[in-house]
Amino acid sequence: MIDYRKELSEVQYNAVTYTDGPELVIAGAGSGKTRVLTYKIAYLIEKGILSHRILALTFTNKAAKEMKERIAALVSREQSKRLVMGTFHSVFGRFLREELNYHKGILPYTSNFTIYDTDDSERVIKEIVKTMCLDPKVYTPSTVLGRISKAKNNMITPIKYPQSTLMEIDEERHINSIFKIYEKYNRALISANAMDFDDLLLNTWLMFKDNEHIRQRYAVRFQYCLVDEYQDTNRIQKAILLQLTKESRMLCAVGDDAQSIYAFRGAVIHNILNYDEDYPGTVTFKLEENYRSTQTIVNAANSIIKKNRSQIYKKLFSNNSEGDRISLYRGATDRNEARYVIDIIKQMTTFEHREFSDFTILYRQNWLSRSFEDALRKEFIPYRIFGGMSFYQRKEIKDLLAYFRVVVNPNDEQALRRIINYPTRGIGSTTLEKLVDLSIKSEQTLWEVLSHPRFYVNLLTKGTVSKLTAFLHQLRSWQGQQHLDAYSLASVICKESGIATLLYSSPKDEDQEKYENVQELLAGIKSFVDEHSGEDSPANSLEDYIREVSLLTDEDKDDKNDLPYVKLMTIHASKGLEFPVIFVVGMDEDVFPCRQSFSSVMDMEEERRLFYVAVTRAKEQCFLTGADSRFRNGRFQQYEKSSFIADIDDRYIKGLFLTFQSKSPMNNNL
């Protein structure tokens, strides 16, 4: 039995043991949010709720994995395995596959549907725009996909789009063909038996809305629901939670309105601000003790966030040491600013025995990293930028994954088109265009056209038909080996497709790196198989692997580099993390806060919450830096200091850092 009184503070204990109705836990920065969630799940299990009847939703697979490991240490690994825990997309994707497997026809998909990433979706949209003869400069794939994503996250289907406020906005922006593209895009996904990420939510909501018996079954199945980072939920996520908790109302939402920074992704801060309106009788607990930062940093953060009107009031406190005041520096140019930051890092590693890994440079926008990268390179200081290209977005990885996708779901047209002539097998773009045209005219999928040579035998040369037949034979051979585990089949495909040989035999250094990346992918698949191979119900097939890997995000990547290095990342990417020493750079008006936030009070308050998040990443020391001029867009531009500086109480800031001087000019302080 866990001694909850001993393990938790009083307010944490009260939040963990409350089970009489809906609950809201306002977890301030560094206040032990994950601890409360994990202990609450352990408490529910101890009180007799079967673990498979507990639903816990997170925003990253990494967070779910960490929580499961902590819960396993509290109860048992067997019980933690049975928890229904994961991201909204992975859990609801699982529900969809289960229901499509047993109830044919509830949605126009089969259970082996593919999940399209952004690149896949944008390629489909690009083709649709082309066939509709629309201006590709106006209807860019990213613009169109953004509008479609917004529609789906607001539960607007293609049929409802023309009557929605989104259509009015489209007409104002002279992009009034979006709804037609949306309709064609939706049909293309259904034809390919594919869903994009937003569909995983929209189709779950539709499934529950249109099939009351299914909704009720899931509502009864889960006795208790918990949601992490509730301030980041959007409209459709809240709607699905209401569907699942309609009768029981047993929802524990954990989050912090002061860290709601994802409105651009569709997050709705009012979900947490108005939680008690959705769940009358809610009991709210506030976790206000910050275990992460010094008293000075916590006090400075409080002075920042109190300027916002829309918030659930709380006042963080810390029992840690008082710590240094926040240091301010303003350089004449961005080069001076970067020089100052690098000098501080060098001095602290020399005189205070800091490691490079103690330092993190945070910025509002990616372009700000350039001057700091240049300065770090000149000093031979190792660094890494977080939020760059994901491992799974690399071409060689996407190529091999496309092979896997076609083996699992041959109707996945985007994957099929990607691999049809890679490695080169003499099936050129002209041939592919003819096959796609046949697919459209015959209203058959590309796979169905390929599978029936009668469609194209008189249209193509004998040599090309022979190559297509050989390609088809190879794919069918792999499809017939799906009884193998994921690693065994993936290894066969990698070898027989010719990808491994092509990269390994290439004299180019970049191809050697690509070969190593492919080997790393196979190593990851081997780990997946080892982890999911159980005697009872092994879930280690290639189809199982594709389901999991298609839901990975950049936040889920493991950092396997043990060498110390300085970290650079956007403030958005830093949320949920903590660092000994941080530099928040680019503290200039129009940069941070950014110009776009000036248009409304709501936008400015979100921008201030972002500043609050940045400062609360620091455990021991925090520096805020800016520059009077920056080289941007081919010329120097002048900037005033950020208005956010005035939000910090003067008691917690200082203009100069320590007593030693940087080589940078330090006489121009914020």
Known active-site residue 530: no
Q: Where are the alpha helices (DSSP H) in 164-196?
A: 165-172, 178-191
**Greater model confidence, 60 or 27:** 27
Catalytic residue among 617, 619, 630, 641: 617
Q: Per-residue pLDDT tens for 643-652? A: 999 999 999 9
Answer yes or no: 229 catalytic: yes
The span from the CA of 68 to the CA of 64, in Å, is: 6
Instruction: Specify the higher pLDDT residue, 361 or 661.
Output: 361
CA–CA distance, 567 with 387 (Å, rounded to integer): 11
**Which has the closest alpha carbon to 555: 586, 525, 588, 577?**
577
- pLDDT value, residue 79: 86
Above 70 in pLDDT, residue 28? yes
pLDDT at residue 146 tops 50: yes
Alpha-carbon distance values, 555 to 199, 242, 386, 387 (Å): 21, 27, 9, 8
Is residue 662 over pLDDT 50? no
Contact criterion met (CB below 8 Å) for 487 and 498: no
- Close Cβ partners of 594 (under 8 Å, ≥ 6 residues apart): 364, 365, 607
Cis peptide upstream of residue 593 (ω within 30 degrees of 0): yes
Candidates 58, 79, 259, 414; catalytic one: 259
Instruction: Single out the residue of 99, 85, 620, 63 nearest to residue 327, CA to CA.
Output: 620
| Integer CA distances (angstroms), 552 to 106, 115, 149, 198, 582, in order | 27, 11, 19, 14, 28
Q: Which of 93, 177, 24 is nearest to 546 (CA)?
A: 93
Write down the catalytic residue from 7, 17, 19, 34.
34
User: For the segment 103-123, what is each residue's pLDDT rounded down to a tens digit?
Assistant: 878 999 999 999 999 999 999
Can you give the pLDDT at residue 634?
60
Q: Percent of the chain at pLDDT above 90?
A: 73
Assign 3-class secondary structure to 106-132. CCCCCCCCEEECHHHHHHHHHHHHHHC
Six-digit token string for 233: 């939920």
pLDDT tens figures, 231-277: 999 999 999 999 999 999 999 999 999 999 999 889 999 999 999 99
Question: What b/e string do you get for 547-581 counting C-beta neighbours within 10 Å, with b at 16 or more?
Answer: bbbbbbeebbeeeeeeeebbbbbbbbbbbbebbeb
- Mark whether 33 is an active-site residue: yes
> What is the pLDDT at residue 455?
85
Residue 482 burial by Cβ neighbours in a 10 Å radius (0-12, 13-18, 19+): middle
pLDDT at residue number 521: 86
- Among candidate residues 198, 229, 256, 413, the one labeled active-site is 229
505: helix, strand or coil: helix
Question: Could you tell me how many residues make up the chain?
Answer: 670
Distance CA 594, CA 401 (A): 38
**Integer CA distances (angstroms), 43 to 3, 74, 604, in order:** 10, 9, 40
Query: Cα(358)–Cα(362) distance, rounded to whole angstroms?
Result: 13
Q: Is the pLDDT of residue 637 over 60?
A: yes
pLDDT tens profile 549-570: 887 655 555 555 567 999 999 9
The answer to whether the CB of 268 falls within 8 A of the CB of 233 is yes
What is the DSSP track for 382-411? -EEETTS--GGGSHHHHHHHHHHHHHH-TT
Single out the catalytic residue among 33, 286, 467, 609.
33
Q: Quick check: 525 pLDDT over 50?
A: yes
Task: Find the Cα–Cα–Cα–Cα dihedral 351, 352, 357, 362, rounded to 10°.
Answer: -90
Residues 363-414: pLDDT tens digits?
A: 998 888 888 988 898 899 999 988 755 567 788 999 999 999 999 999 999 9
Q: What local confidence, expressed as pLDDT, does residue 551 receive?
A: 75
Please list the helix, strand and coil fractions of the chain in percent, rounded to the nearest 5, in that order.
55, 15, 35
120, 196, 228, 605: the active-site residue: 228
Is the per-residue pLDDT at 667 higher than 50? no
72 vs 622, residue with greater confidence: 622
Q: What is the pLDDT of residue 562?
A: 62
Which residues on neighbouring strands pair with residue 637, listed in sequence order?
630
Rounded mean pLDDT, 151-156: 96
| 228 carries an active-site annotation | yes
Catalytic annotation present for 394: no
Q: Is 617 a catalytic residue?
A: yes
- Name the 3-class secondary structure at 439: helix
Confidence band for 664, pLDDT divided at 50, 70 and 90:
very low
pLDDT, position 657 = 33
The contacts of residue 298 (CB under 8 Å, 6+ apart) are 290, 316, 317, 318, 616
Instruction: Compute the mean pLDDT over every residue in the chain, rounded to the nearest whole number.
Output: 90
pLDDT in tens, 41-89: 999 999 999 999 999 999 888 888 889 899 989 988 888 888 999 999 9
More confident residue, 508 or 654: 654
| Pair 87, 64: CB distance under 8 Å | yes
User: Phi and psi for 23 in degrees, rounded to 5?
Assistant: -140, 140
